[in-house]
Amino acid sequence: MSGKFYVTTPIYYVNDRPHIGHAYTTILADVLACFHRSMGDDTYFLTGTDEHGQKVENAAAKNGVTPQQHADETVVRFQELWQKLGITNDDFIRTTEARHKDVVKEILQDLYDRGEIYKAEYTGWYCVGCERYFTEKDLVEGKCPDCGREVSALKESNYFFRMSKYQEWLIDYIKSHPEFIQPAFRANETLGFLKQPLADLCISRPKSRLSWGIELPFDSDYVCYVWFDALINYISAVGYRRDDAAFARRWPASCQLIGKDILTTHSVYWPTMLKAMNVEMPGSIFAHGWWLTGNTKMSKSLGNVVNPMEMIGIVGVDAFRYFLMAEMTLGNDASFTREALMRRYNSDLANDLGNLLSRVVKLTLRAGGAIPAPGEPTGNEEEFNSAVEAAVSGMKSCLESMKLDQGIAAVLSAVRAGNRYVEQCAPWALAKNNDIAHLNTVLYTVAANLRKLAVLLAPVMPGKMAELQKALGGGDELLTIGDLLSGNCPDPAGRTVQEVAPLFPRIQEEEAPAAPCSKAEKKEKAKAAAPAPEAVELVTIDQFCKVKLKTARVVAAEKLEGADKLLKLKIDIGEAEPRPLVAGVAKYYTPEEIMGKTIVVVSNLQPATIRGAESRGMLLAAKFGKELRLVTVDGDVPAGADIG
């Protein structure tokens, strides 16, 4: 074992169905856990459900069942979804379980006995939705500062945890432990919150108002505040006060993942509770952003909440996991749109990764079916090999710095380098010319590198990457990231490849149901919809035949200086020298994304000079709404092939 890694998700309320926010945090935790297991770390992954409190009691009453019945019925939705998403949690804790409730009671009694909890009268404002008390100055226009809901005036006796006692300690701890709250700007938010005097935390609710909770061991007329109860799950699940050896093995948690909306409870309540209990602080509390629909926050009232099960039905589990990990920069908000999902799927997975596997398998099967030993290197391997080495080291460093999207981008960059390598070497031509030594080098290089890239993506797409490794002769002996980092990768030469169906079959836009959008967005889309043309001007076959269409390989790409919408390309269309071409696609493709693609161009267009740059041809692209996609060709087609 090279180390230990204990990761937690928030525990989720059982008052409703799981949505994309729940799915994202849980998939993120799973990906982190899978990475660390693959590196050989002693890994533990905890998730679960928060089953007490007023929201649960209200939801149960609305459905005409007891709170426990409601919890038992709703928790299954989370467990079934985690199974569907391939979540590999080591434990699933429910706060209604005795193993949790008993530990909470012991903690409450201990803190009460030591004077950390006291009884006093409270006057203030209460938000049912957030299940939190607020003072008058906390309110925003008379409403809850967190969710904007109406609040209720309350005056009652309650029990309080002396949280204010630890304010200065917490400020000093955050400042001296920059890794404790991540990203750094969230630590600054917490420090900003702590500039005001910190109040003591009300940790009880009278049974006359709320009966669904853990009864206080020192006063049977009260139940425990749901947040105080819920936070303790992170230690009750791993042996606190029950198994000292197990607890010492797991705690402190390495990474506690949360959404930014529960930052205060985890960065203020939780550490002060632990300090009072004399328990070590977790290594890191990481607050990620929200998923938006377009530019709008998801909300049931707006009807734009994304159902993970619907998205899985469109692209499959692994591709859905990939999209969430690749699209969001950890810490920031991200936009979920159908267009972005389909773009990632068809471009990254179908065109790039799936196409590279299909190429090497088909060509190896034609050459006998076994991955050959390589001949002498040709010099073309350098770019591909270097990109793979950069992806291996980059993924490790990005994992450590919680920049998963950048690590995934490095892997996809290496995949694209592999497709460029195949185009440069043209193994189909090597086979035709009987250049077996060179052909063997190409097939071996692609297979060996693609196996490594599959290992790096396996925590994100475990099912598909296992299929990829097996297709390249991996059998049941799948490589791990530990193997890559140690250089202990068995030579793939001699392994028999297996013909497989496309890993990621392309999905046509019309096949994918639209992602939900808000009412305002629907109106905007309706306004943007162009009316169908009343008539189409027809051309004769002779007129059409004057247009010469050819396949072209993009061999160089850069932005045209002084023109935001234009890219300056060099394309190989089978002539002695690459041609220059200027294309207005910079809003839709970066130079890195368009490099190496096989596109379709009009090859006999009159040359033109655009913004001082020569352009000899025009690429074909499809425009729909505000999106644009290049016209490409299916399969292994060399540059310069005629189309028509």
Residues 6+ apart with CB under 8 A from 624: 509
**633, burial (CB in 10 Å: exposed 0-12, middle 13-18, buried 19+):** middle
467 by DSSP, 3-state: which? helix
Separation of alpha carbons 622 and 631, rounded Å: 7
Q: Are both 576 and 466 inside the same structural domain?
A: no
Residue owning tokens 């149901």 = 513
pLDDT tens string 36-63:
999 999 999 999 999 998 889 988 999 9
Tell whether 411 is covered by a domain.
yes
Same domain, 359 and 464: yes
Q: Which two tokens stand for residue 643?
A: 């189309």
Instruction: For residues 354 and 435, give the distance between their C-alpha atoms in angstroms, rounded to a whole number.
Output: 26
Let me know if residue 621 belongs to a domain: yes
**pLDDT number for residue 624:** 64
How is 145-193 classified by DSSP, letter by letter? TTT--B-EEEEEEEEEE-GGGGHHHHHHHHHH-TTSEESHHHHHHHHHH
How many distinct structural domains can be found in the chain? Answer: 2
pLDDT of res. 294: 64
pLDDT per residue as tens digits for the range 501-560 = 899 999 876 555 554 444 444 454 444 444 444 444 566 666 677 788 988 888 778 888
- Tell me: pLDDT of 495 over 90: yes
What's the domain range around 620?
A: 541-643
Which CB contacts under 8 angstroms, 24+ apart, belong to 278-282? Answer: 279/235, 279/240, 279/251, 280/251, 280/252, 281/173, 281/177, 281/180, 281/252, 282/180, 282/234, 282/252, 282/253, 282/254, 282/255, 282/256
Residue 251 domain-assigned (yes or no): no
Q: At what angle do helices 20-38 and 67-84 cross, to 10 degrees?
A: 50
User: Which residue is listed with tokens 């049977």?
Assistant: 220
Q: Is 68 among the domain residues?
A: no
The pLDDT of residue 226 is above 70: yes
- Taking only the tens place, the pLDDT of each residue in 357-413 is 999 999 999 999 999 999 888 888 999 999 999 999 999 999 999 999 999 999 999
Asked, for residue 116, whether it belongs to a domain, the answer is: no
Average pLDDT estimate for 18-44 = 94
Same-domain status, 547 and 480: no
Q: Which whole number is the average pLDDT over 639-643?
A: 80
CB 447 within 8 A of CB 441: no
Same domain membership, residue 383 and residue 463: yes
Kindly state whether residues 481 and 359 are assigned to the same domain.
yes
- State which of 420, 452, 486 marks the end of a domain: 486
Beta-strand relationship, 598-602 and 618-619: antiparallel
- Under a CB-based contact definition with an 8 Å cutoff, are residues 275 and 169 in contact? yes
Q: Rounded to an integer, what distance in angstroms lies between the CA atom of residue 344 and that of residue 315?
A: 10
Report the alpha-carbon distance of residue 167 to residue 585 in Å, rounded.
54
pLDDT the model gives residue 297: 62
Beta strand pairing call for 618-619 and 117-127: unpaired
DSSP β-ladder status, 627-630 and 621-624: antiparallel
Furthest-apart CA atoms within the chain: distance in Å? 95
Q: Does an H or E element contain 313, and which? A: helix 308-315
Domain-embedded: residue 423:
yes
Same domain as 465, residue 377: yes
Nearest to 553 by CA among 416, 395, 380, 382: 416
Residue 104 has pLDDT above 60, yes or no: yes
How would you classify the pairing of strands 132-134 and 42-50? unpaired
What is the end-to-end Cα distance of the chain in Å, rounded? 60
Percent of the chain with pLDDT over 90: 59
**In whole angstroms, what is the distance from residue 247 CA to residue 249 CA?**
5
How far, in Å, are 121, 232, 389, 552 from residue 639 at the CA level? 80, 62, 29, 5
Residue 303 is assigned to a structural domain of this protein: no
- Residue at which a domain ends, from 486, 513, 532: 486
Q: Which of 445, 463, 486 is the last residue of a domain?
A: 486
Domain at 571, CATH number: 2.40.50.140
Q: What is the mean pLDDT of residues 170-191?
A: 97
Q: What is the mean pLDDT of the chain?
A: 88
Whole-prediction pTM value? 0.77
Asked if residue 211 has pLDDT above 60, the reply is yes
Helix 404-425 and helix 436-457, axial crossing angle in degrees, nearest 10: 170
Question: pLDDT digits over 423-443, tens only?
Answer: 999 999 999 999 999 999 999
| Phi–psi pair at 166, nearest 5 degrees | -105, 10
Of 281, 277, 287, 338, give the one whose Cα is nearest residue 310.
338
Model pLDDT for residues 108-155, shown as the tens digit of each residue: 999 999 999 999 987 878 887 777 778 777 888 888 887 788 888 888
Same domain, 545 and 627: yes
Report which residue type is found at 249: R
| Cα–Cα distance list, 487 to 357, 476, 483 (Å) | 23, 20, 6
- Does 535 or 229 have the greater pLDDT score? 229
- Could you give the C-alpha distances from 395 to 59, 107, 410, 460, 612, in angstroms and in order? 43, 41, 7, 12, 40
Domain assignment of residue 448, yes or no: yes
Reply yes or no on whether the pLDDT at 1 is more than 90. Answer: no
Condensed to tens digits (0 to 9), the pLDDT of residues 263-292 reads 999 999 999 999 999 999 999 999 999 888
190 pLDDT tier (thresholds 50, 70, 90): very high
Residues 632, 322, 619: CA angle, nearest 5 degrees: 15
Q: What CATH number is attached to the domain comprising 356?
A: 1.10.730.10
Tokens coding 272: 């002060």
